[in-house]
Chains A and B, each alone.
Chain A
Amino acid sequence: MNQVLGLYNYWVVICLMMIGFYVVIAGGNLIKKVIGLSIFQVSVFLLYITMGKVEGGTTPIKPAKNFYTGEDFTVFSNPLPSVLMLTAIVVGVATTALALALIVRIHEAYGTIEEDEILAADQESPC
């Protein structure tokens, strides 16, 4: 039971990861592929943030007093993975933007964003 509930976040990560990965592989529409890619990347953000979280922990900022009760906090979460993910989010946004820009150009050149139609068009005319 502990395996299931205790690792709840990790199960979510794995499900999202597999959903994203499946969409990238199986999606025939280029936009859908990009959506799948984004979901795949987001699952990794969640993985990192989960590993930094300490149960009952708060942000590591001094003075660490509870605003309402005035008690000192003693447990802190690890901020580093969250900070890393800020960078990874930027990378993800850049990737998505570049992919969408390419799709716009592909649509201009081929008149479609369906993978099988693009493939057929490539086979018909060499350039």
Chain B
Amino acid sequence: MLAHLPVLPIIVPLLAAPLCVLLRQRRLVLGLALAVCWATFIMTLMLLRRVLAEGTQTYELGGWLPPWGIEYRIDTLSAFVLLIVSGIGATVLTYAPRSVECEIRRDQHYLFYTAYLLCLTGLLGIVITGDLFNLFVFLEISSLSSYALISLGAQQTRKALTAAFQYLVMGTIGATFILIGIGLMYQMTGTLNMADMAARLNTTGGPRTVLVAFAFLTVGISLKMALFPLHSWLPGAYTFAPSVVTAFLAATATKVSFYVLVRFIFTIFKPSFAFEVLPLDIELMVLSLIGIFVASTVAIFQTNIKRMLAYSSIAQVGYMVLAISFASVTGLTAGIVHLMNHALIKGGLFLAMGCFALRLGSTELADMRGIGRRMPATMFAWVLGGLGLIGVPLTAGFVSKWYLITAALERGWWQVAVLLLISSLLAAIYVWRVVEVAYFQSPAEEHADVQEAPALMLIPTYALIGASIVFGLWTSFSAGVAHEAAQRLLEITP
């Protein structure tokens, strides 16, 4: 059984998904989905322990030897991202029942859990696989199920349908770009195995086909990751999706796409090609900085808080991509640490928004007047998350910002470091707007009987927000693993 550990986080949720459709009965499906999600979390925890102790784990699917067969390959980075995705997946699903009850039609519940498990399978699969075509297939599994999940928001507002359709069009274009890139790479190397391709790929002189493949892959992944200016699908999708779906996707989907970008640049193409032959570092630096400033500024003017947080997500993706552009161990560590910290912070914030949506039936800023008095526990969680977004010391956000600024100074880009500090002020403005409305305005009359959110929803919210505080104080795990992953990626022996 333990020999098959690397494949289990994929097999278990994948098999459980059709089982959910067969069971149909709401409670049974919920129980199964919960058991599967937590089991997956424990399996990824064991995987990370094993990877840290024994080094990279490989698994040949069906016993076919690589490079012919599909190989699952888990190094420190994959194990770390796997743990984050499955951990968020399990926590959000624990939170889900009450929120789903309120926001999704009863006869569609089993379909929600099915799509959720499929989406989890796809996201974990992208991270676990060592085969490029397999990566595309998992990408589509996660994308297709997330379009369906977003469209479930139609019970609340019909705009969810158009948002899902727009995401579908953009997402398919992105995935097809990635497919074109993979095809051209196959043409040049004759292999689909990532490690094998990295060994065979000859980038001297920058062959035209490799350049084109790299361009298609970068644009395709950036589309899925919502890197500015390819972010147009994200605000709509995050605003109109059910609260649970928003929390899950915001915390995992863009992070996994970021992982794919790191994988392509550092494992397959190598930094020497991306940053020395091509000026990708400058391009990513400029785009991510514009993204951070534009998205943060737009966030300040939003009247819907879910939409505000969605724009803030675009800015946070900018931070992660900026980290890649430093092309150093510190930079990469910053990116990987921020991947985790932002997943926890934004996941927690969107879960808190779900509590508000449940009790107020709205996520508009105007409806949150004085809510700090009616729902103190939820609002306190929101504020802690908001502080993390700004990067206040003692929160996880501070750790990411610290590494980012250190990396910027190491590279000698002090202007970037200054811009990073200024961008934190923008985050402070949009977080403050909500705090001001929630604490310093008197509660609305119609919300006089609003109660605190149920404990079953508060506990997962505090689990994520609490984790973001814990990893702000205790950095040896998150930053330690991220540092080791960065060293492995850049092939520097520790």
Contact residues of A with B, CB < 8 Å? Answer: 21, 24, 30, 33, 37, 40-41, 44, 47-48, 51, 81, 84, 87-88, 91, 94-95, 98-99, 102-103, 105-106, 109-110, 118, 122, 127
Task: Point out the residue from B137, B161, B165, B176 that lies within 8 Å of A44, measured CB to CB.
Answer: B176
Q: List 30 A-B contacts (CB under 8 A).
A: A21-B173, A33-B169, A37-B173, A40-B173, A40-B176, A44-B176, A44-B180, A44-B183, A47-B183, A48-B183, A81-B183, A84-B133, A87-B137, A91-B144, A95-B144, A95-B172, A98-B144, A98-B147, A102-B161, A102-B165, A103-B165, A105-B151, A105-B154, A105-B161, A106-B165, A109-B158, A110-B158, A122-B159, A122-B162, A127-B159
Task: Point out the residue from B157, B172, B183 that lies within 8 Å of A37, measured CB to CB.
Answer: B172
How would you classify the secondary structure of chain B's contact residues: helix, strand, loop or mixed? helix
Is B474 interfacial (CB-CB < 8 Å)?
Answer: no
A81 to B132 CA separation, bound complex (whole angstroms): 13
A95 to B148 CA separation, bound complex (whole angstroms): 11
Please name the residue on chain B nearest to A21 by beta carbon.
Answer: B173
Is B320 interfacial (CB-CB < 8 Å)?
Answer: no
Is B103 interfacial (CB-CB < 8 Å)?
Answer: no
Q: Is the CB of A102 within 8 A of B183?
A: no
Nearest Cβ in chain B — how far from A87, in angstroms? Answer: 6
Q: Is the CB of B158 within 8 A of A81?
A: no
Q: Is the CB of A102 within 8 A of B186?
A: no
Is B164 interfacial (CB-CB < 8 Å)?
Answer: yes
Q: Is the CB of A109 within 8 A of B154?
A: yes
Is B75 interfacial (CB-CB < 8 Å)?
Answer: no
A99 to B166 CA separation, bound complex (whole angstroms): 10
Q: Is the CB of A98 within 8 A of B148?
A: yes
A-B contact count (CB 8 A): 70
A47 to B137 CA separation, bound complex (whole angstroms): 18
Q: A98-B148, A122-B159 are in contact. Are A51 and B176 (CB under 8 A)?
A: no
A24 to B173 CA separation, bound complex (whole angstroms): 9
Nearest Cβ in chain B — how far from A43, in angstroms? Answer: 9
**Which residues of chain A are near B172, meaning CB under 8 Å?**
37, 41, 95
Q: Is the CB of A37 within 8 A of B169?
A: yes
A21 to B223 CA separation, bound complex (whole angstroms): 15
Nearest first, the 10 A-B pairs at minimum CB distance are A109-B158, A91-B140, A127-B157, A102-B165, A106-B161, A51-B187, A105-B161, A48-B183, A95-B172, A84-B133
Q: Is the CB of A102 within 8 A of B158?
A: no
Q: A44-B176, A88-B179, A109-B154 are in contact. Are A102 and B159 (CB under 8 A)?
A: no
Nearest Cβ in chain B — how far from A105, in angstroms? Answer: 5
Given A41-B172, A95-B144, A106-B165, output 10 extra A-B contacts at Cβ < 8 Å. A41-B176, A51-B183, A51-B186, A88-B179, A91-B137, A98-B168, A102-B168, A105-B151, A110-B158, A122-B159
Q: Is the CB of B151 within 8 A of A102?
A: yes
Nearest Cβ in chain B — how far from A89, in angstroms? Answer: 12
Among B136, B137, B157, B176, the one with the most A-chain Cβ atoms within 10 Å of its Cβ is B176
**Which residues of chain B are near A106, meaning CB under 8 Å?**
158, 161-162, 165
Q: Is the CB of A47 within 8 A of B180?
A: yes
**Which residues of chain B are near A33, meaning CB under 8 Å?**
169
Q: Is the CB of A99 within 8 A of B168?
A: yes
**Which residues of chain A are near B161, meaning CB under 8 Å?**
102, 105-106, 109
Q: Is the CB of B186 within 8 A of A94?
A: no
Interface string of B180-195 (1 = CB under 8 A from A): 1001001100000000
Q: Which of B282-323 contact A (CB under 8 A)?
A: none
Among B136, B144, B162, the one with the most A-chain Cβ atoms within 10 Å of its Cβ is B162
Please name the residue on chain A nearest to B190 by beta carbon.
Answer: A78
Task: Point out the residue from B148, B158, B169, B187 that lies within 8 Å of A24, measured CB to CB.
Answer: B169
A87 to B176 CA separation, bound complex (whole angstroms): 13
Nearest Cβ in chain A — how far from B393, in angstroms? Answer: 40
Nearest Cβ in chain A — how far from B376, in angstroms? Answer: 29
Nearest Cβ in chain A — how far from B124, in angstroms? Answer: 18
**Which residues of chain A are near B165, meaning CB under 8 Å?**
30, 99, 102-103, 106
Nearest Cβ in chain A — how far from B175, in angstroms? Answer: 8
Nearest Cβ in chain A — how far from B69, in angstroms? Answer: 12
Nearest Cβ in chain B — how far from A45, in angstroms? Answer: 9
Nearest Cβ in chain A — how far from B302, in angstroms? Answer: 14
A47 to B176 CA separation, bound complex (whole angstroms): 12
Interface string of B87-131 (1 = CB under 8 A from A): 000000000000000000000000000000000000000000000
A127 to B239 CA separation, bound complex (whole angstroms): 13
Nearest Cβ in chain A — how far from B239, in angstroms? Answer: 12
A41 to B180 CA separation, bound complex (whole angstroms): 10
A88 to B159 CA separation, bound complex (whole angstroms): 30
**Which residues of chain B are near A21, meaning CB under 8 Å?**
173
**Which residues of chain A are near B168, meaning CB under 8 Å?**
95, 98-99, 102
A106 to B160 CA separation, bound complex (whole angstroms): 9
Nearest Cβ in chain B — how far from A98, in angstroms? Answer: 6
Task: Point out the residue from B147, B151, B186 that lies within 8 Å of A81, measured CB to CB.
Answer: B186
Nearest Cβ in chain A — how far from B274, in angstroms? Answer: 24
Task: Point out the residue from B133, B147, B156, B179 that lies within 8 Å of A102, measured CB to CB.
Answer: B147
Nearest Cβ in chain A — how far from B365, in angstroms? Answer: 14
Nearest Cβ in chain A — how far from B162, in angstroms? Answer: 6
A106 to B169 CA separation, bound complex (whole angstroms): 15
A97 to B459 CA separation, bound complex (whole angstroms): 38
A109 to B240 CA separation, bound complex (whole angstroms): 15
Please name the residue on chain A nearest to B165 by beta carbon.
Answer: A102
**Which residues of chain B are near A88, meaning CB under 8 Å?**
136, 179
**Which residues of chain B are near A41, meaning CB under 8 Å?**
172, 176
